[in-house]
Amino acid sequence: MNDPQFIADLKQVELGFSQIVQQPRYNAATWRNKLEHIHDRLNHAWKNKCTAGSKVVQSIVEDMAMLYTNSDQIDPDEDFFQHYVEYFESTQTKHLERCNTLCAIISPQYHQLYKGNLLLYQGIQWRLRQN
C-alpha cells in the first residue's frame, strides 16, 4: 500500500469521483442515507444473483444516478452514465485491484460492497448498450 503507483492510482480515482459528484441535490446526511440504502439494495441484488438488466438492478442504477447527478438536472443523461463507466474503469488498475483483493479477504463486508459496485457497473453498461 505504500507503493507510489498505488498512491498515484488512488489520487486519480479521487479526481474522477469529484468530477462525477457536482452540486449534489441532497444535504450530506440525506445523501449518506440514500447511498447506504443503495448499497443495501446492491448487496441484496448480488446475493440473489440478479442480472445487470433486471428491473431490480436497473432501478438501483436510476436511483444511483439521481443521487450523483447535478441538482439542476431533472434526469441523468447518457453522458453521466458514460462518465461513471469511465470512472469505474479507472479504478481497475493492478495496484487498486490488489488492494481490493486484500480488503475483501480481511472484510466480508468489503467483499459484498465490491461485488455490489461491480453489479452496478454492469447495470450501467447494460443500460448504455440499450441505447
Instruction: Look at residue 46 in the predicted model and tell me its pLDDT.
Output: 95
Average pLDDT (88-113) is: 85
Q: Which residues contact 52 (CB under 8 A, 6 or more apart)?
A: 119, 122, 123, 125, 126
Higher pLDDT, 51 or 84: 51
Q: Give pLDDT, residue 120.
A: 93
Three-state SS sequence of 24-62: CCCCHHHHHHHHHHHHHHHHHHHHCCCCCCCHHHHHHHH
Helix (H) / strand (E) containing 129: helix 108-130
Whole-angstrom distance, CA of residue 80 vs CA of residue 73: 11
pLDDT of residue 67: 82
Burial state string for 67-87 with b = 16 or more CB within 10 A and e = fewer than 16:
bbbeeeeeebeeebbeebeeb
User: Is the dihedral angle over the CA atoms 46, 125, 102, 12 positive or is it negative?
Assistant: negative
Scan for cell 447518457, then name that residue.
78
pLDDT tens, residue by residue, 7-58: 665 555 555 555 555 556 777 788 788 889 999 999 999 999 999 999 999 9
Arithmetic mean of pLDDT over the chain: 81
Per-residue pLDDT tens digits for 108-129: 888 888 899 899 999 999 999 9
Most confident residue range from 2-11, 63-72, 99-108: 99-108
pLDDT value at residue 43: 93
